[in-house]
Structure 1
Amino acid sequence: MDNVLKVESLSVYYENNQAIKNISFCAEEGKLIGIVGPNGAGKSTLIKAILGLEKAQGNVTILGKKVTNVRKQISYVPQRNQIDWDFPVLVEDVVMMGRFTHIPWYKKADKKDREIVAESLDKVGMVEFAKRQIGELSGGQQQRVFIARALAQHADLFFLDEPFVGIDITSEEIIINLLREIRNMGKTVFVVHHDLSKVEQYFDELLLINKELIEYGKVNEVYQPDILQKTYKGRITLFGSNENMMVVSE
């Protein structure tokens, strides 16, 4: 498989505080990758630095090019608390935003764009809510709408920051199944995730960080007691063997 993302010596500083330090890794196409670490480990900062949303030192190439040259091929779903849910916009308009990178500034959305929006809403089970204001939805429904926006963009790389926080079980199941479908299409999906009990079920690979890269690789190789203890600096409790390991973090 080809590398779709190459990160070299990536570091981010906030005044005198180093948020992430000298992180390097390569990711292949067709992978569902969990980014895992304790609170304050720099998980969200890593995504933003990769996408050029944070001032960073180091190099990032996506599909062999600089990020600024492949914006259309990258989809980003931020944390829910970073979104103004009171903004007066309809569900279908939010999803249409995913088409904006494909529509020239001098044109309006056409029939094809509207069909893609409808298909994307259908995939997340939100067609009947198309005319609702986004703030009227539950947390899980809102997250599904933003997944639909990402689907409508037809991107090659997807970055989702804590998509399962504060949502219902039904929405979580819909979202993880969609992410698997995207992965199976040969796309690469990165998910900032905090629930260690589900990483073996959800992901192909794990990227464990605590400001520095602790380990990156296949889940069965990385999801190991010694590596988890190193990542969380002893702030987790492990019960049982690897096959039946239970984890209580922080």
Structure 2
Amino acid sequence: MSDVIEVSQLSVYYEDNEAIKDISFKAKEGQLIGVVGPNGAGKSTLMKAILGLEKYKGTISVLGKKVKEVRKQISYVPQRSQIDWDFPVLVQDVVMMGRATHIVWYKRPSSIDKEVVAACLKKVGMLDFAKRQIGELSGGQQQRVFIARALAQEANVFFLDEPFVGIDVTSEEIIIGLLRELKAENKTIFVVHHDLSKVQDYFDQLLLINKELIQFGSVDQVYTPEILQKTYKGGLALFGSNEKQMVVTPQ
């Protein structure tokens, strides 16, 4: 497997505040990667920096090139809280936005574009809602629509920021199923995630961060009480399966 993302000595500062510092890692293709850490650890900042949405120090390459050179191959699903759900737009139009990199600016969407949009909506179980206003949907349905938009882009690298927050069980099951399908297609997926009880079921690798990189590796290697203790600096954290749960106790 080749390296899809390479980050070296990445730091982000907000005025005098250090958001993330000196983070370096390499991620290979065909991996479903959870980005985990406490609130304020810099998980979203790390993702935005890689995407070129934050000013940073250090070097970043995606698919062996600068991000701006491979923008079409990168899909991003932001946190739901960052989206204006009152904006009057139809579900099918939201998903069509994912086709923007495939459509010449002076042309209308082709029949192929429309077929892709319909197929992506069908994958997330939202085809029957295509002509609904996005603001009329539940939180889980809205998230599924944005996942469909990401799928419509037909990218190779996916970044999802807290996609499972505030959604129903059905939507979560549909979304993780689609992420596993993308992994099987050799796509690389980064997911900012907060529910430690599910990381063993959801991810191949974990990137544990608390402003600095704590550990990056396979779930089996890094999902341990000692490393979680270091990541959460003694904060309480529940993890493990229902049969065997473990607790990171305060230091």
TM-score (structure 2 length as normaliser): 0.96
Match of 1:164 in 2: 164
Match of 1:216 in 2: 216
Q: Which amino acid counterpart does residue 49 of structure 2 have in structure 1? A: A
Alignment of 1:88-99 (within 5 A): 88-99=88-99
Give me the whole-angstrom Cα distance separating, in 2, the residues matched to 1:152 and 1:236.
Answer: 39
State whether residues 85 and 135 of structure 1, in contact with CA within 8 Å, keep that contact through their aligned partners in structure 2: yes
Q: Secondary structure at the match of 2:44?
A: helix
Alignment of 1:71-220 (within 5 A): 71-220=71-220
Deviations 1:165-214 (CA, angstroms, capped at 9, x unpaired) = 00000000000000000010000000000000000000000000000000
Match of 2:62 in 1: 62
Give me the whole-angstrom Cα distance separating, in 2, the residues matched to 1:230 and 1:78.
Answer: 27
Give me the whole-angstrom Cα distance separating, in 2, the residues matched to 1:240 and 1:110.
Answer: 48
Give me the whole-angstrom Cα distance separating, in 1, the residues matched to 2:13 and 2:173.
Answer: 36
Q: Which amino acid counterpart does residue 59 of structure 2 have in structure 1? A: N
Say whether residues 1:232 and 2:232 are aligned partners. yes
Give me the whole-angstrom Cα distance separating, in 2, the residues matched to 1:247 and 1:171.
Answer: 28
Cα drift, residue 246 of structure 1: 3.4
Give me the whole-angstrom Cα distance separating, in 1, the residues matched to 2:64 and 2:15.
Answer: 31
Give me the whole-angstrom Cα distance separating, in 2, the residues matched to 1:201 and 1:102.
Answer: 34
State whether residues 197 and 247 of structure 1, in contact with CA within 8 Å, keep that contact through their aligned partners in structure 2: no
State whether residues 229 and 249 of structure 2, in contact with CA within 8 Å, keep that contact through their aligned partners in structure 1: no
Give me the whole-angstrom Cα distance separating, in 1, the residues matched to 2:121 and 2:64.
Answer: 31
Give me the whole-angstrom Cα distance separating, in 2, the residues matched to 1:21 and 1:56.
Answer: 10
Point out 4+ residue stretches in structure 1 off by more than 6 angstroms: none
State whether residues 196 and 247 of structure 1, in contact with CA within 8 Å, keep that contact through their aligned partners in structure 2: no
Q: Which amino acid counterpart does residue 179 of structure 1 have in structure 2? A: L
TM-score (structure 1 length as normaliser): 0.97
Alignment of 1:3-14 (within 5 A): 3-14=3-14
Match of 2:43 in 1: 43
Call closer, same or farther: CA 1:247–1:106 in 2, change over 3 Å. farther
Give me the whole-angstrom Cα distance separating, in 2, the residues matched to 1:89 and 1:249.
Answer: 47
Give me the whole-angstrom Cα distance separating, in 2, the residues matched to 1:167 and 1:238.
Answer: 21
User: Can you give the 5+ residue segments of structure 1 that lack an aligned partner in the other structure?
Assistant: none
Q: Secondary structure at the match of 1:24?
A: strand
